[in-house]
Amino acid sequence: MRDQARSLAAELARSPDDAVARALVAEVGHRFRAMLDGIRLYRDHPYVRDLAPMPAVWSAGGVRLVDYGGDGPPVLFVPSLVNRGYVLDLSAQRSLLRWLGTQGFHPYLVDWGSPTAAERPLDLGGYVLQRLVPALDHLTARHGGAVPIVGYCMGGDLALALALARSDAVSALALLATPWDFHAEGGAGRGRLLVAGRDGIEASLKLAGEMPVDALQAFFLGLDPSLSLKKFAAFAAMDQASQGAADFVALEDWLNDGVPLVPAVARDCLIGWYGENATARLGWQVDGEVVDPARLACPLLLAVPANDRIVPPGSARAAGTRAASGGVAVTEIAPPLGHIGMVVGSRAAAQLWQPLADWLRPHAAVQNPPLSMTPAGRYRGGGRLQSKNKRPKRPPRTAKQEFTT
């Protein structure tokens, strides 16, 4: 490395004074044009999500419990409140939930929907007690017995609180890329900024009556500012008729289909969790009880994606460390993938879906699936992309969506 640095320094010394500046301007221009090409191609791409909607078996306010079918015992999935839960059912080729239905499980998904007037007063604890607890009670009454729960991203924190509030109804808990120590791996600096900006956050909530999607997208964009440049430039170089291009558009459409946060939830998340690290400091309470992984009464699986830039591995792993200190049986898997790629990427079936199913099986009392069922590594789903002449109309992809992540 030092030899390369010396060689580069010598080459720069021999170059005209403005050569580096001109080369830099040219490269920046090239990359920016590639990104703009990718955005244009994304906006014009014909893909539209065509999976048939699954039925809801319970609802309260804007929240529904969606039934994904299957002949086995139930598994309850709790997604993040920030993005819609159908990332777990993204497309015919990328649906963890539909695949699990072929593996001897009966998956259910909490669909948060958009907040209604009934959700406006709720904080995070309110979502747990007034939405998740009744949904879980409905599930246990419907099937009988305790249920394993899987939480994804911040949905894992809510799932943990649910497992503590209804320990008799939860047989196992899996946390997928779930943040716990929000100040791990450099998060403390971001936390101080959020606490210092509390007045600005409050002013935004007062003005809008909620935390708008665009504000949330800007916050997450700040976690990796160059991502839009890289991903759209890469998309521009793809074969636009390929399955890979369709997968990119499916995921980007989901990313841009966010929901606002009601005021108390926004405060809990941005100030309490990210700012003050209330989770790891054991300062987050639900119904007067500290949400503490060490109090879990069931086994815990941690899926900690090694390349996660949204939830650093140290943040997710902290929940397992705390749980183990209380004697909880903790299993960890570390897929060499990113935060979203872990659940919908081309290697998700082998790196997450199958290990998750294997871990859930004894906790859900599920028998091994028949040999005729498709293994995870070769899953192709039960749907297809519609042909152009049958494609349903979709709303145009708008400019405000282009730079969100």
**Confidence at residue 395, expressed as pLDDT on a 0 to 100 scale:** 54
Mean pLDDT of the chain: 86
Asked whether residue 314 is assigned to any structural domain, the reply reads yes
Question: What does 162-207 look like in DSSP terms, one character per residue?
Answer: HHHHTGGGEEEEEEES----TTGGGHHHHHHHHHHTHHHHHHHHHH
What mean pLDDT do residues 202-220 have? 81
Residue 45, classed as helix, strand or coil, is: coil
Asked whether residue 24 is assigned to any structural domain, the reply reads no
For the chain, first and last CA: distance in Å? 34
Q: What's this model's pTM, rounded to 2 decimal places?
A: 0.83
CB 154 within 8 A of CB 82: yes
Asked whether residue 51 is assigned to any structural domain, the reply reads no
Asked whether residue 62 is assigned to any structural domain, the reply reads yes
Least confident range from 38-47, 110-119, 227-236: namely 227-236
Domain housing 148: 56-366
pLDDT digit string (tens) for 362-401? 998 644 443 333 334 333 333 323 323 333 445 555 544 4
Half-sphere exposure of 124 (CA within 13 A, CB side): 28
Tokens of 172: 């196992």
**Confidence at residue 390, expressed as pLDDT on a 0 to 100 scale:** 35
- Residue 313's CATH number: 3.40.50.1820
For Cα atoms 144, 293, 197, give the angle at the middle one, nearest 5 degrees. Answer: 120
CB 77 within 8 A of CB 97: yes
Asked whether residue 160 is assigned to any structural domain, the reply reads yes
CA distance 93 to 132: 29
Asked whether residue 10 is assigned to any structural domain, the reply reads no
**Confidence at residue 379, expressed as pLDDT on a 0 to 100 scale:** 36
Number of neighbouring beta carbons within 10 Å of residue 239? 8
The beta-strand segments (E) located in 15-156 are: 56-60, 63-67, 74-78, 106-111, 147-152
Dihedral-angle region of residue 149 (phi above 0 means left; psi in -120 to 50 means alpha; beta otherwise): beta
CB 255 within 8 A of CB 343: no
CA distance 133 to 220: 29
Strand 330-333 relative to strand 300-303: parallel, antiparallel, unpaired?
A: parallel
Distances (CA, A) of 206 to 52, 203, 284, 304: 38, 5, 24, 36
Asked whether residue 39 is assigned to any structural domain, the reply reads no
Residue 317, pLDDT > 60, answer yes
- Please count the structural domains in the chain: 1
**Confidence at residue 373, expressed as pLDDT on a 0 to 100 scale:** 35
pLDDT digit string (tens) for 250-290? 989 998 888 899 999 999 999 999 999 999 999 999 999 99
CA distance 136 to 144: 11
Q: At what angle do helices 133-143 and 154-165 cross, to 10 degrees?
A: 60
Asked whether residue 14 is assigned to any structural domain, the reply reads no
